[in-house]
Structure 1
Amino acid sequence: MSAPETEAGVIAELAVRANGGEVVHGPNGRTFLVSAPGAVVKDITDPHGIVVDPPARIRQSVTLQTVDSLVDYVDRFKTKDTVLFADIRQSSIAALIDYHGPGEAAHVDHKATMILPFSEEWKTWTAIDGKMMDQLTFARFLEENAVDVVAPSGADLLEVCRDLQAKRKVDFRKAVRTNTDNENFEYTDETTATAKSGGVEVPSKFQLKVPVYFGGETVSLFAFLRWNLVETSLQLGVKLHRAEHVRQAVFKQIVTDAGARSERPVLFGTAG
Protein backbone atom coordinates (compact mmCIF):
# COMPACT_ATOMS: atom_id res chain seq x y z
CA MET A 1 0.00 0.00 0.00
CA SER A 2 1.06 3.61 -0.44
CA ALA A 3 2.33 5.48 2.62
CA PRO A 4 -0.27 7.83 4.15
CA GLU A 5 0.77 11.51 4.15
CA THR A 6 -0.41 12.41 7.66
CA GLU A 7 -0.83 10.89 11.12
CA ALA A 8 -4.59 11.14 10.58
CA GLY A 9 -4.16 9.03 7.45
CA VAL A 10 -2.31 6.40 9.45
CA ILE A 11 -5.12 6.21 12.00
CA ALA A 12 -7.65 5.79 9.24
CA GLU A 13 -5.65 2.94 7.70
CA LEU A 14 -5.37 1.27 11.11
CA ALA A 15 -9.11 1.44 11.63
CA VAL A 16 -9.79 -0.21 8.27
CA ARG A 17 -7.52 -3.13 9.16
CA ALA A 18 -8.83 -3.58 12.68
CA ASN A 19 -9.97 -7.13 12.00
CA GLY A 20 -6.73 -8.44 10.47
CA GLY A 21 -3.00 -8.23 10.90
CA GLU A 22 -1.03 -6.03 8.58
CA VAL A 23 2.05 -3.80 8.43
CA VAL A 24 1.27 -0.14 7.82
CA HIS A 25 3.87 2.40 6.69
CA GLY A 26 3.36 5.85 8.11
CA PRO A 27 4.88 9.31 7.68
CA ASN A 28 8.44 10.16 8.68
CA GLY A 29 9.53 6.57 8.00
CA ARG A 30 7.43 5.05 10.80
CA THR A 31 6.08 1.51 10.53
CA PHE A 32 3.17 -0.03 12.51
CA LEU A 33 2.03 -3.62 13.05
CA VAL A 34 -1.74 -4.04 13.39
CA SER A 35 -2.87 -7.36 14.90
CA ALA A 36 -6.35 -8.75 15.25
CA PRO A 37 -8.39 -9.41 17.27
CA GLY A 38 -8.69 -6.20 19.30
CA ALA A 39 -6.85 -4.03 16.77
CA VAL A 40 -3.58 -4.08 18.72
CA VAL A 41 -1.20 -1.49 17.25
CA LYS A 42 2.56 -1.73 17.74
CA ASP A 43 5.20 0.68 16.49
CA ILE A 44 7.89 -1.50 14.88
CA THR A 45 9.76 1.30 13.13
CA ASP A 46 13.07 0.43 14.77
CA PRO A 47 12.61 -2.29 17.43
CA HIS A 48 16.36 -2.69 18.04
CA GLY A 49 17.27 0.98 18.14
CA ILE A 50 19.55 0.75 15.14
CA VAL A 51 18.13 3.48 12.95
CA VAL A 52 18.72 7.09 14.04
CA ASP A 53 16.30 9.49 12.40
CA PRO A 54 17.82 12.80 11.32
CA PRO A 55 16.40 15.93 12.97
CA ALA A 56 13.63 17.73 11.16
CA ARG A 57 15.83 20.86 10.83
CA ILE A 58 19.32 22.07 11.67
CA ARG A 59 19.74 23.50 15.15
CA GLN A 60 23.32 24.70 15.47
CA SER A 61 25.06 27.68 17.03
CA VAL A 62 28.82 28.00 16.55
CA THR A 63 31.33 30.58 17.78
CA LEU A 64 34.21 31.32 15.42
CA GLN A 65 37.45 33.19 16.12
CA THR A 66 38.52 34.70 12.80
CA VAL A 67 36.81 36.44 9.92
CA ASP A 68 38.24 33.86 7.51
CA SER A 69 36.57 31.05 9.48
CA LEU A 70 33.26 32.94 9.49
CA VAL A 71 33.39 33.43 5.72
CA ASP A 72 34.30 29.77 5.16
CA TYR A 73 31.43 28.63 7.38
CA VAL A 74 28.91 30.87 5.64
CA ASP A 75 30.10 29.71 2.23
CA ARG A 76 29.57 26.10 3.26
CA PHE A 77 26.03 26.41 4.62
CA LYS A 78 24.55 29.62 3.22
CA THR A 79 21.15 29.78 1.57
CA LYS A 80 19.55 32.50 -0.52
CA ASP A 81 18.17 34.02 2.72
CA THR A 82 21.37 33.97 4.82
CA VAL A 83 22.08 37.40 6.33
CA LEU A 84 25.02 38.86 8.32
CA PHE A 85 24.25 41.13 11.27
CA ALA A 86 27.08 43.38 12.48
CA ASP A 87 26.94 44.91 15.97
CA ILE A 88 29.32 47.85 15.89
CA ARG A 89 29.11 48.33 19.67
CA GLN A 90 30.28 44.79 20.44
CA SER A 91 32.62 44.31 17.43
CA SER A 92 30.63 41.18 16.58
CA ILE A 93 29.32 39.61 13.40
CA ALA A 94 26.48 37.07 13.43
CA ALA A 95 25.56 35.00 10.39
CA LEU A 96 21.96 33.77 10.48
CA ILE A 97 22.18 30.88 8.05
CA ASP A 98 18.48 29.97 7.88
CA TYR A 99 17.06 33.49 8.13
CA HIS A 100 13.53 34.01 6.87
CA GLY A 101 12.87 35.41 3.41
CA PRO A 102 10.33 38.09 2.46
CA GLY A 103 6.93 36.82 3.56
CA GLU A 104 8.37 33.43 4.46
CA ALA A 105 8.57 32.03 7.98
CA ALA A 106 11.74 30.31 9.16
CA HIS A 107 12.96 28.79 12.40
CA VAL A 108 16.31 30.69 12.39
CA ASP A 109 18.02 27.92 14.36
CA HIS A 110 21.37 27.91 12.53
CA LYS A 111 23.74 30.67 13.59
CA ALA A 112 27.46 31.45 13.41
CA THR A 113 28.91 34.24 15.55
CA MET A 114 32.30 35.80 16.07
CA ILE A 115 33.53 38.67 18.23
CA LEU A 116 36.59 40.41 16.84
CA PRO A 117 39.33 40.36 19.52
CA PHE A 118 41.33 43.54 20.04
CA SER A 119 45.06 43.44 19.40
CA GLU A 120 47.43 43.57 22.35
CA GLU A 121 48.76 46.92 21.09
CA TRP A 122 45.28 48.43 20.97
CA LYS A 123 44.45 47.16 24.45
CA THR A 124 47.74 48.52 25.80
CA TRP A 125 47.27 52.07 24.51
CA THR A 126 43.54 52.35 25.19
CA ALA A 127 44.14 51.16 28.76
CA ILE A 128 46.17 54.32 29.52
CA ASP A 129 44.02 56.68 27.44
CA GLY A 130 43.43 59.82 29.51
CA LYS A 131 45.16 58.45 32.62
CA MET A 132 47.88 60.43 34.37
CA MET A 133 51.14 58.82 35.51
CA ASP A 134 54.19 59.95 37.40
CA GLN A 135 57.06 60.77 35.07
CA LEU A 136 58.99 57.54 35.77
CA THR A 137 55.98 55.34 35.01
CA PHE A 138 55.26 57.36 31.88
CA ALA A 139 58.88 57.11 30.72
CA ARG A 140 58.90 53.35 31.23
CA PHE A 141 55.63 52.99 29.35
CA LEU A 142 57.03 54.87 26.34
CA GLU A 143 60.24 52.85 26.49
CA GLU A 144 58.40 49.50 26.59
CA ASN A 145 56.02 50.42 23.76
CA ALA A 146 58.34 52.48 21.58
CA VAL A 147 57.90 49.96 18.74
CA ASP A 148 54.34 51.28 18.27
CA VAL A 149 55.53 54.91 17.86
CA VAL A 150 56.54 56.07 14.37
CA ALA A 151 56.96 59.75 15.25
CA PRO A 152 59.02 61.02 16.95
CA SER A 153 61.79 58.66 15.87
CA GLY A 154 63.00 55.84 18.09
CA ALA A 155 66.21 57.69 18.96
CA ASP A 156 64.36 60.89 19.93
CA LEU A 157 61.85 58.92 21.98
CA LEU A 158 64.62 57.10 23.83
CA GLU A 159 66.24 60.43 24.69
CA VAL A 160 62.96 61.71 26.12
CA CYS A 161 62.66 58.60 28.27
CA ARG A 162 66.20 58.99 29.59
CA ASP A 163 65.65 62.67 30.45
CA LEU A 164 62.43 61.90 32.34
CA GLN A 165 64.10 59.08 34.27
CA ALA A 166 67.15 61.20 35.13
CA LYS A 167 65.20 64.25 36.35
CA ARG A 168 63.03 62.57 38.95
CA LYS A 169 64.27 64.62 41.94
CA VAL A 170 64.05 68.10 40.46
CA ASP A 171 61.37 70.71 41.12
CA PHE A 172 59.32 71.42 38.03
CA ARG A 173 58.12 75.01 37.80
CA LYS A 174 56.26 75.50 34.53
CA ALA A 175 55.74 74.25 31.00
CA VAL A 176 56.51 76.25 27.88
CA ARG A 177 55.44 75.35 24.33
CA THR A 178 58.49 75.43 22.06
CA ASN A 179 58.69 76.54 18.43
CA THR A 180 58.89 72.83 17.48
CA ASP A 181 55.48 72.32 19.10
CA ASN A 182 56.91 70.34 22.02
CA GLU A 183 56.39 70.92 25.73
CA ASN A 184 59.47 72.09 27.62
CA PHE A 185 59.12 71.46 31.35
CA GLU A 186 61.39 73.88 33.18
CA TYR A 187 62.85 72.78 36.49
CA THR A 188 65.21 73.73 39.30
CA ASP A 189 67.61 71.18 40.75
CA GLU A 190 68.44 72.00 44.35
CA THR A 191 69.91 68.61 45.26
CA THR A 192 73.44 69.86 44.63
CA ALA A 193 75.42 72.51 46.41
CA THR A 194 74.70 74.95 43.60
CA ALA A 195 71.14 75.14 42.39
CA LYS A 196 70.73 74.42 38.68
CA SER A 197 67.93 75.02 36.28
CA GLY A 198 67.05 73.43 32.99
CA GLY A 199 64.27 71.80 31.05
CA VAL A 200 62.97 68.47 29.82
CA GLU A 201 61.43 68.59 26.36
CA VAL A 202 58.60 66.14 25.63
CA PRO A 203 56.73 65.84 22.30
CA SER A 204 53.21 67.25 22.42
CA LYS A 205 51.93 64.34 20.30
CA PHE A 206 52.96 60.84 19.28
CA GLN A 207 52.00 59.12 16.04
CA LEU A 208 51.15 55.47 16.61
CA LYS A 209 50.94 52.62 14.12
CA VAL A 210 48.96 49.75 15.65
CA PRO A 211 46.34 47.19 14.60
CA VAL A 212 42.88 47.63 16.08
CA TYR A 213 41.96 43.95 15.99
CA PHE A 214 44.07 40.82 16.37
CA GLY A 215 45.75 39.90 13.10
CA GLY A 216 44.49 43.04 11.37
CA GLU A 217 46.35 45.70 9.43
CA THR A 218 47.94 48.57 11.33
CA VAL A 219 46.35 52.02 11.29
CA SER A 220 47.66 55.48 12.17
CA LEU A 221 46.51 56.99 15.45
CA PHE A 222 47.67 60.11 17.27
CA ALA A 223 48.20 60.34 21.03
CA PHE A 224 48.30 63.88 22.43
CA LEU A 225 50.41 64.65 25.50
CA ARG A 226 48.58 65.58 28.69
CA TRP A 227 50.32 66.90 31.79
CA ASN A 228 49.79 68.27 35.26
CA LEU A 229 52.08 70.09 37.65
CA VAL A 230 51.14 69.08 41.19
CA GLU A 231 53.18 71.42 43.37
CA THR A 232 56.63 70.63 41.94
CA SER A 233 55.90 67.12 40.69
CA LEU A 234 55.19 66.34 37.05
CA GLN A 235 52.40 64.01 35.94
CA LEU A 236 52.14 62.88 32.34
CA GLY A 237 49.74 60.94 30.14
CA VAL A 238 48.28 60.74 26.65
CA LYS A 239 44.86 61.22 25.12
CA LEU A 240 44.16 59.14 22.03
CA HIS A 241 42.72 61.22 19.20
CA ARG A 242 39.32 59.95 17.96
CA ALA A 243 40.18 56.36 18.82
CA GLU A 244 36.53 55.26 18.67
CA HIS A 245 36.15 56.75 15.18
CA VAL A 246 39.21 54.78 14.07
CA ARG A 247 37.84 51.55 15.57
CA GLN A 248 34.43 51.98 13.95
CA ALA A 249 35.97 52.68 10.54
CA VAL A 250 38.13 49.55 10.75
CA PHE A 251 35.18 47.44 11.91
CA LYS A 252 32.98 48.69 9.08
CA GLN A 253 35.66 47.78 6.53
CA ILE A 254 36.05 44.27 7.98
CA VAL A 255 32.28 43.72 7.88
CA THR A 256 32.01 45.03 4.33
CA ASP A 257 34.79 42.68 3.22
CA ALA A 258 33.15 39.71 4.97
CA GLY A 259 29.85 40.41 3.23
CA ALA A 260 31.54 40.73 -0.17
CA ARG A 261 33.57 37.53 0.26
CA SER A 262 30.57 35.47 1.42
CA GLU A 263 28.26 37.15 -1.11
CA ARG A 264 25.66 37.75 1.57
CA PRO A 265 23.94 41.02 2.58
CA VAL A 266 25.13 42.81 5.71
CA LEU A 267 22.91 44.68 8.16
CA PHE A 268 24.30 46.78 10.99
CA GLY A 269 22.42 45.88 14.14
CA THR A 270 21.36 42.80 16.09
CA ALA A 271 18.70 40.17 15.44
CA GLY A 272 16.33 39.49 18.32
Structure 2
Amino acid sequence: MAPENPTAEPLAELTIQTGFDIRNPGETLETILRGARLADPILEGPDGRKYATLPKEFTLRELEDDARLDPFPRQRVTVDDRASLSAYANRYSDSRSIIIADYDALTISARLDWHHHNQDSDQALRTGPNEHSATLKLRPSEEFMRWDAFVQKGFHDQETFARFLEENSCDVHLPDPATLIEISRDFEATVGQTYKSSTRLDNGDRKIFFESDSRATHDVIVPQKITLRIPFYNGEQPSDIEARFRWRAASGAVQFRLEWHRVEYHRRAHFTEIAYTASEETGLPVFIGREG
Protein backbone atom coordinates (compact mmCIF):
# COMPACT_ATOMS: atom_id res chain seq x y z
CA MET A 1 0.00 0.00 0.00
CA ALA A 2 1.44 3.46 -1.02
CA PRO A 3 2.31 5.98 1.76
CA GLU A 4 -0.17 8.74 2.40
CA ASN A 5 2.48 11.43 1.78
CA PRO A 6 5.18 10.18 -0.60
CA THR A 7 7.30 13.35 -0.13
CA ALA A 8 7.43 13.20 3.70
CA GLU A 9 10.49 10.95 3.91
CA PRO A 10 12.65 12.96 1.43
CA LEU A 11 11.68 16.22 3.16
CA ALA A 12 12.67 14.84 6.55
CA GLU A 13 16.03 13.76 5.15
CA LEU A 14 16.58 17.24 3.65
CA THR A 15 15.73 18.84 7.00
CA ILE A 16 18.40 16.74 8.72
CA GLN A 17 21.05 17.63 6.12
CA THR A 18 20.41 21.40 5.99
CA GLY A 19 19.08 22.15 9.46
CA PHE A 20 16.10 23.90 7.92
CA ASP A 21 12.60 22.55 8.23
CA ILE A 22 11.34 23.47 4.79
CA ARG A 23 7.95 22.18 5.79
CA ASN A 24 7.69 25.26 8.04
CA PRO A 25 8.44 28.32 5.83
CA GLY A 26 8.28 30.78 8.73
CA GLU A 27 10.97 28.95 10.70
CA THR A 28 13.11 28.59 7.63
CA LEU A 29 12.95 32.33 6.88
CA GLU A 30 13.81 33.20 10.49
CA THR A 31 16.83 30.86 10.35
CA ILE A 32 18.06 32.50 7.15
CA LEU A 33 17.67 36.00 8.63
CA ARG A 34 19.51 34.96 11.78
CA GLY A 35 22.35 33.57 9.72
CA ALA A 36 22.56 36.81 7.77
CA ARG A 37 22.73 38.81 10.99
CA LEU A 38 25.51 36.61 12.36
CA ALA A 39 27.48 36.97 9.11
CA ASP A 40 27.45 40.75 9.44
CA PRO A 41 26.22 41.69 12.92
CA ILE A 42 27.47 45.32 12.99
CA LEU A 43 24.97 48.05 12.09
CA GLU A 44 25.61 51.79 12.06
CA GLY A 45 22.85 54.06 13.27
CA PRO A 46 21.92 57.46 11.85
CA ASP A 47 23.84 59.20 14.63
CA GLY A 48 27.09 57.39 13.75
CA ARG A 49 26.97 54.96 16.66
CA LYS A 50 27.45 51.27 15.90
CA TYR A 51 25.38 48.35 17.18
CA ALA A 52 25.84 44.58 17.20
CA THR A 53 22.77 42.43 16.45
CA LEU A 54 23.17 39.11 18.27
CA PRO A 55 20.59 36.62 19.53
CA LYS A 56 19.64 37.01 23.18
CA GLU A 57 20.47 33.41 23.99
CA PHE A 58 24.12 33.85 22.94
CA THR A 59 26.52 33.91 25.91
CA LEU A 60 30.30 34.00 26.22
CA ARG A 61 31.77 30.98 27.99
CA GLU A 62 35.45 30.40 28.72
CA LEU A 63 36.92 27.13 27.50
CA GLU A 64 39.04 25.76 30.31
CA ASP A 65 42.46 24.34 29.51
CA ASP A 66 44.48 22.89 32.38
CA ALA A 67 47.61 22.76 30.19
CA ARG A 68 47.52 26.46 29.32
CA LEU A 69 50.22 28.64 30.90
CA ASP A 70 49.56 31.99 32.53
CA PRO A 71 49.97 34.97 30.15
CA PHE A 72 53.42 36.60 30.30
CA PRO A 73 53.79 40.32 31.11
CA ARG A 74 53.80 42.79 28.23
CA GLN A 75 55.28 46.07 29.44
CA ARG A 76 57.75 48.60 28.02
CA VAL A 77 58.92 51.04 30.70
CA THR A 78 61.16 54.07 30.06
CA VAL A 79 62.99 55.46 33.09
CA ASP A 80 64.91 58.72 33.52
CA ASP A 81 67.86 57.67 35.70
CA ARG A 82 70.07 54.67 36.41
CA ALA A 83 68.73 54.16 39.94
CA SER A 84 65.20 53.63 38.58
CA LEU A 85 66.49 51.19 35.96
CA SER A 86 68.27 49.10 38.58
CA ALA A 87 65.33 49.19 41.00
CA TYR A 88 62.87 48.05 38.34
CA ALA A 89 65.18 45.30 37.07
CA ASN A 90 65.79 44.01 40.61
CA ARG A 91 62.04 43.78 41.15
CA TYR A 92 61.18 41.77 38.01
CA SER A 93 64.34 40.05 36.71
CA ASP A 94 65.00 36.32 36.68
CA SER A 95 67.61 33.96 35.25
CA ARG A 96 66.74 35.01 31.67
CA SER A 97 67.24 38.75 32.16
CA ILE A 98 70.09 40.71 30.53
CA ILE A 99 71.12 44.33 29.86
CA ILE A 100 71.72 45.67 26.33
CA ALA A 101 73.57 49.03 26.09
CA ASP A 102 73.29 50.81 22.72
CA TYR A 103 75.62 53.82 22.54
CA ASP A 104 74.28 55.02 19.18
CA ALA A 105 70.76 55.27 20.61
CA LEU A 106 71.99 56.31 24.10
CA THR A 107 69.82 53.59 25.67
CA ILE A 108 70.54 51.04 28.39
CA SER A 109 67.78 48.45 28.42
CA ALA A 110 67.06 45.67 30.92
CA ARG A 111 65.36 42.88 28.93
CA LEU A 112 63.62 40.99 31.68
CA ASP A 113 62.16 38.05 29.69
CA TRP A 114 65.08 37.37 27.34
CA HIS A 115 66.01 33.88 26.13
CA HIS A 116 67.01 31.10 28.51
CA HIS A 117 70.77 30.61 28.73
CA ASN A 118 72.60 27.46 27.70
CA GLN A 119 73.20 26.36 31.30
CA ASP A 120 69.49 25.95 31.97
CA SER A 121 69.08 22.18 31.79
CA ASP A 122 65.29 22.30 31.65
CA GLN A 123 64.77 24.99 28.99
CA ALA A 124 68.20 25.53 27.44
CA LEU A 125 68.17 28.13 24.62
CA ARG A 126 64.39 28.38 24.68
CA THR A 127 63.27 31.61 23.02
CA GLY A 128 61.89 34.21 25.41
CA PRO A 129 58.97 36.52 24.53
CA ASN A 130 61.06 39.73 24.95
CA GLU A 131 57.94 41.69 25.83
CA HIS A 132 58.95 43.07 29.25
CA SER A 133 61.73 45.65 29.52
CA ALA A 134 62.89 48.78 31.33
CA THR A 135 64.94 51.25 29.29
CA LEU A 136 67.06 54.18 30.44
CA LYS A 137 67.06 56.81 27.70
CA LEU A 138 70.06 59.02 28.41
CA ARG A 139 69.66 62.71 27.56
CA PRO A 140 72.51 65.23 27.29
CA SER A 141 72.66 67.49 30.32
CA GLU A 142 71.63 71.13 30.03
CA GLU A 143 75.21 72.21 30.82
CA PHE A 144 76.77 70.04 28.12
CA MET A 145 74.21 71.14 25.51
CA ARG A 146 74.95 74.81 26.28
CA TRP A 147 78.72 74.45 25.95
CA ASP A 148 78.49 72.13 22.96
CA ALA A 149 76.26 74.58 21.06
CA PHE A 150 78.82 77.35 21.72
CA VAL A 151 81.67 75.11 20.52
CA GLN A 152 79.83 74.07 17.36
CA LYS A 153 79.21 77.70 16.31
CA GLY A 154 82.95 78.15 15.69
CA PHE A 155 84.64 81.53 16.04
CA HIS A 156 83.12 84.38 18.04
CA ASP A 157 83.99 88.04 18.36
CA GLN A 158 85.68 89.22 21.54
CA GLU A 159 82.53 90.61 23.17
CA THR A 160 80.42 87.49 22.55
CA PHE A 161 83.22 85.21 23.68
CA ALA A 162 83.86 87.21 26.85
CA ARG A 163 80.18 87.38 27.79
CA PHE A 164 79.70 83.62 27.41
CA LEU A 165 82.75 82.81 29.56
CA GLU A 166 81.62 85.14 32.31
CA GLU A 167 78.03 83.83 32.33
CA ASN A 168 79.13 80.18 32.47
CA SER A 169 82.26 80.44 34.60
CA CYS A 170 80.65 78.30 37.34
CA ASP A 171 81.00 75.26 35.05
CA VAL A 172 84.79 75.72 34.76
CA HIS A 173 87.13 73.76 37.02
CA LEU A 174 90.47 75.05 35.68
CA PRO A 175 91.36 77.86 35.70
CA ASP A 176 89.26 78.81 38.70
CA PRO A 177 86.08 80.83 37.97
CA ALA A 178 87.52 84.08 39.35
CA THR A 179 90.47 83.87 36.95
CA LEU A 180 88.19 83.11 34.03
CA ILE A 181 85.98 86.10 34.83
CA GLU A 182 89.09 88.29 34.90
CA ILE A 183 90.14 86.94 31.49
CA SER A 184 86.69 87.60 30.05
CA ARG A 185 86.78 91.18 31.29
CA ASP A 186 90.21 91.64 29.73
CA PHE A 187 88.63 90.53 26.46
CA GLU A 188 85.87 93.10 26.83
CA ALA A 189 88.40 95.85 27.57
CA THR A 190 90.10 95.26 24.21
CA VAL A 191 86.92 95.39 22.10
CA GLY A 192 87.53 97.86 19.28
CA GLN A 193 91.29 97.87 19.73
CA THR A 194 93.70 96.73 17.04
CA TYR A 195 95.57 93.46 17.24
CA LYS A 196 99.35 93.99 17.13
CA SER A 197 101.14 90.74 18.01
CA SER A 198 101.17 87.64 20.21
CA THR A 199 103.68 85.68 22.26
CA ARG A 200 103.59 82.07 23.47
CA LEU A 201 104.39 81.75 27.17
CA ASP A 202 106.41 78.94 28.80
CA ASN A 203 103.26 77.16 30.04
CA GLY A 204 101.68 77.10 26.58
CA ASP A 205 99.34 80.05 27.18
CA ARG A 206 99.28 82.91 24.68
CA LYS A 207 99.71 86.63 25.40
CA ILE A 208 97.97 88.79 22.80
CA PHE A 209 98.82 92.49 22.45
CA PHE A 210 96.33 95.16 21.38
CA GLU A 211 96.78 98.86 20.65
CA SER A 212 94.21 101.61 21.13
CA ASP A 213 93.81 104.79 19.10
CA SER A 214 95.93 106.60 21.69
CA ARG A 215 98.78 104.13 21.04
CA ALA A 216 98.27 102.62 24.49
CA THR A 217 99.09 98.92 24.54
CA HIS A 218 97.01 96.29 26.33
CA ASP A 219 97.65 92.60 26.64
CA VAL A 220 95.38 89.60 27.28
CA ILE A 221 96.62 86.19 28.39
CA VAL A 222 94.65 83.45 26.70
CA PRO A 223 94.95 80.05 28.44
CA GLN A 224 95.89 77.06 26.33
CA LYS A 225 92.82 75.16 27.54
CA ILE A 226 90.08 75.13 30.11
CA THR A 227 88.68 72.15 32.03
CA LEU A 228 84.93 71.95 32.56
CA ARG A 229 83.37 69.92 35.34
CA ILE A 230 79.87 69.17 34.07
CA PRO A 231 77.76 66.02 33.57
CA PHE A 232 77.54 64.50 30.11
CA TYR A 233 74.04 63.14 30.74
CA ASN A 234 71.08 64.40 32.69
CA GLY A 235 71.04 63.10 36.27
CA GLU A 236 74.60 61.72 36.18
CA GLN A 237 77.70 62.82 38.09
CA PRO A 238 79.93 65.57 36.58
CA SER A 239 82.94 64.66 34.46
CA ASP A 240 86.07 66.64 33.63
CA ILE A 241 86.02 67.74 29.98
CA GLU A 242 88.82 69.67 28.26
CA ALA A 243 88.30 72.40 25.68
CA ARG A 244 91.19 74.07 23.80
CA PHE A 245 91.33 77.81 23.10
CA ARG A 246 91.71 78.77 19.46
CA TRP A 247 92.06 82.28 18.02
CA ARG A 248 92.69 84.06 14.75
CA ALA A 249 93.46 87.64 13.73
CA ALA A 250 92.28 89.35 10.56
CA SER A 251 92.21 93.05 9.62
CA GLY A 252 93.20 94.12 13.11
CA ALA A 253 90.41 92.13 14.82
CA VAL A 254 90.69 88.92 16.83
CA GLN A 255 88.17 86.09 17.06
CA PHE A 256 88.12 83.22 19.54
CA ARG A 257 86.62 79.74 19.72
CA LEU A 258 86.74 76.58 21.81
CA GLU A 259 87.40 73.06 20.54
CA TRP A 260 86.58 69.88 22.42
CA HIS A 261 89.52 67.64 23.27
CA ARG A 262 88.62 63.93 22.82
CA VAL A 263 85.10 64.60 24.02
CA GLU A 264 83.56 61.64 22.13
CA TYR A 265 86.06 59.27 23.72
CA HIS A 266 85.07 60.49 27.20
CA ARG A 267 81.35 60.38 26.41
CA ARG A 268 81.57 56.75 25.30
CA ALA A 269 83.66 55.82 28.33
CA HIS A 270 81.10 57.46 30.65
CA PHE A 271 78.23 55.67 28.87
CA THR A 272 80.00 52.32 29.34
CA GLU A 273 80.57 53.13 33.00
CA ILE A 274 76.83 53.73 33.51
CA ALA A 275 75.99 50.42 31.82
CA TYR A 276 78.43 48.41 33.93
CA THR A 277 77.31 50.17 37.10
CA ALA A 278 73.72 49.09 36.32
CA SER A 279 75.05 45.56 35.79
CA GLU A 280 76.74 45.59 39.20
CA GLU A 281 73.59 46.92 40.89
CA THR A 282 71.35 44.25 39.34
CA GLY A 283 73.67 41.27 38.88
CA LEU A 284 72.63 41.04 35.22
CA PRO A 285 75.11 40.48 32.37
CA VAL A 286 75.59 43.51 30.11
CA PHE A 287 76.11 43.45 26.35
CA ILE A 288 77.37 46.57 24.53
CA GLY A 289 75.57 46.68 21.20
CA ARG A 290 72.10 46.51 19.72
CA GLU A 291 69.47 44.08 18.49
CA GLY A 292 69.81 43.01 14.86
Distance, in Å, in 2 between the alignment partners of 1:56 and 1:222 is: 52
Of residues 104, 121, 129, the one that matches 2:151 is 129
1:59 and 2:79 matched: no
Alignment partner for residue 107 of structure 2, among 92, 95, 98? Answer: 92
Cα offsets for 1:102-154 (capped at 9, x unmatched): 42122211122121122222222222225211111110111011111122222
What residue identity is the alignment partner of 1:123? M
CA deviation digits over 1:161-201, x for unaligned, max 9? 111111111011332212342211122212xxx32233222
Counterpart check, 1:247 vs 2:240: no
Q: Does 1:117 align with 2:111?
A: no
Query: Secondary structure, in 3 states, of the residue corresponding to 1:128?
Result: helix
Shift of 1:45: 2.1
AA at the equivalent of 1:112: A
Structure 1 partner of 2:61:
45
Q: Work out the CA distance in 2 between the residues paired with 1:218 and 1:231.
A: 40
Which among 250, 258, 261 is matched to residue 238 of structure 1?
A: 258
In 1, distance between residues paired with 2:109 and 2:59? 42
Q: What are structure 2's unaligned runs of at least 5 residues?
A: 1-56, 63-68, 118-124
Letter matched to residue 45 of structure 1: R
Q: Distance in 2 between matches of 1:235 and 1:109?
A: 54
Q: Tell me the equivalent position of 2:17.
A: none
Instruction: Summarize the alignment of residues 1-272 of structure 1 with structure 2, pairs less than 5 Å apart.
Output: 45=61, 56-102=71-117, 103-129=125-151, 131-190=154-213, 194-272=214-292
Amino acid paired to 1:209: R
Question: What is the alpha-carbon distance in structure 2 between the residues aligned to residue 250 and residue 156 of structure 1?
Answer: 29
- Specify the code of the residue in structure 2 equivalent to 1:120: E
Shift of 1:90: 2.5
Distance 1:92 1:117 in 2: 9
**How far apart are 1:44 and its partner, in Å?**
5.0
The number of residue pairs the alignment matches comes to: 222
Identity percentage over the alignment?
Answer: 31
Say which SS state the counterpart of residue 168 (structure 1) adopts. coil
**CA-atom RMSD, angstroms?**
2.1
Q: Does the 8 A contact of 1:117 with 1:214 survive in 2?
A: yes
Amino acid at match of 1:150: H
Alignment deviations for residues 33-61 of structure 1 (CA, whole Å, 9 cap, x no partner): xxxxxxxx976526xxxxxxx97322211
Comparing 231-240 and 172-181, the one that deviates more: 172-181
Q: Is the 8 A contact 1:212 1:247 kept in 2?
A: yes
Shift of 1:208: 1.6
Contact 1:174 1:229 (8 Å CA) reproduced:
no
Aligned to 2:36: none
Greater percentage in strand: 1
